[in-house]
A and B are shown apart, each in its own frame.
Chain A
């Protein structure tokens, strides 16, 4: 099993234990062999410092796939940032407009997207509210790098279905796939190859996202794609 959405570090907005030790323990308890992760230092304080922490940690723990982040509010616009991140060994770039309060209609964001496309590094973006996922498809129209929308919940499900159906490179991460038949509806309407499992550990309880997938009435092959096959394909 591969978990595409984990974090470690410190969470200033609520008291939660986000320690690396706890993350390693929870991943081991749930038999997660590989997990994409980043340090929250990069979200809340300084992305360069956070990325260094992530990379350093991934060198010590081979089960961690390093994911970089960039805060567009602090983007210098030199044009080679994402290329350098890719060269350092990061396998994807995560962006957090919801936590950092920047709009999608934002030139620094457009630049980061262009840079990611040049080196075909997957982007992971968390979007709050309605209309944001649609906005991302407009901004990335014609681009080919995979874009994973994280944290899609019931409120955004209709929009996510529509977008994933019509945009080849858009995938969804499943940590908030919370409607009773989300997997059944999505795999039938769009296909299992557009989903990647993520728990959003340590911020979320792991089983909140895992049990709905485990219980879903879809083929075992489809579950395997969601649990590991799709993200493996993307990261290759």
Chain B
């Protein structure tokens, strides 16, 4: 079955992982049968967003199968706008991501004013309509729901689908049409795929691995073992992402 991975990163993490180069990343994709990955830079997410976006652009431009998200930091709004101007004119960059909710960006929440102004600018100036947000627990879910209602013309990916509250995520995001649940986390709790596929529909669930942090095989195993039909698995692994990426 073909796979598109909508939640990946290029770069190092604060844990002992050696396979962090772009060549390692491509090998991991090949080994797991992943045709296309959409990446954001881990350096951009956890540290210096401009240096990270630059590294990511250099890595994806010459390589097939790799697409990118521009990361913006609401603590640096003017500079974030400049990053959007710099990269969103390129076809290789398909949107913004993995935009955060507190944590790496201090006390700026998912629904902060900076993120909202960034989304307004996306709508005004660029054709991309895809944004991956880190969406964790009930707070993340309610904040993303607010954003999704305010920006109905943008498709949002709820990274981690509100883990550990995926049931709530499926119920809440049913209220809008522009949020897709992305499944990755370190909690492969049996039944979660079946639950969200039933509550919101398999056409609103997408595959993401969080590679290079998490092994894609770990996440693939969740779908492989889930008790949903093959057509729904195909939607989650590939078809929904294909449609979101317009390919």
Interface centre among B16, B18, B191, B211 (most CB of A within 10 A): B16
Interface centre among B28, B212, B221, B222 (most CB of A within 10 A): B221
- CB-based A-B contact count at 8 angstroms: 97
Partner of B15, one of A16, A179, A212: A179
CB contact under 8 A between A208 and B15, given known A179-B213, A202-B190: no
Q: Which residue of B lies closest to A162 (CB)?
A: B16
Pairwise interchain contact A181-B190, C-beta atoms closer than 8 A: no
List B contacts of A222 (CB < 8 A).
none
Interface size on B, residues (CB 8 A): 30
| Interface assignment of B126: CB less than 8 Å from any CB of chain A | no
CB contact under 8 A between A184 and B18, given known A16-B191, A154-B214, A208-B222: yes
Pairwise interchain contact B31-A16, C-beta atoms closer than 8 A: no
Task: Give min CB distance, B179 to chain A, whole Å.
Answer: 23
Size bin of chain A's contact surface? 20 to 34
Q: Which of B198-247 contact A (CB under 8 A)?
A: 211-222, 224-226
Pairwise interchain contact B212-A180, C-beta atoms closer than 8 A: yes
Pairwise interchain contact A178-B16, C-beta atoms closer than 8 A: no
| Interface assignment of B75: CB less than 8 Å from any CB of chain A | no
Task: Give min CB distance, A1 to chain B, whole Å.
Answer: 15
| Interface assignment of B1: CB less than 8 Å from any CB of chain A | no
List A contacts of B189 (CB < 8 A).
14, 16, 203-205
CB contact under 8 A between A179 and B17, given known A205-B225, A211-B220: yes
Additional 6 contacts, C-beta under 8 A, given A154-B186, A178-B215, A212-B218: A14-B191, A154-B17, A178-B186, A180-B17, A204-B189, A208-B222
A residues with a Cβ closer than 8 A to B are: 14-17, 153-155, 157-158, 161, 176, 178-182, 184-185, 201-212, 214-215
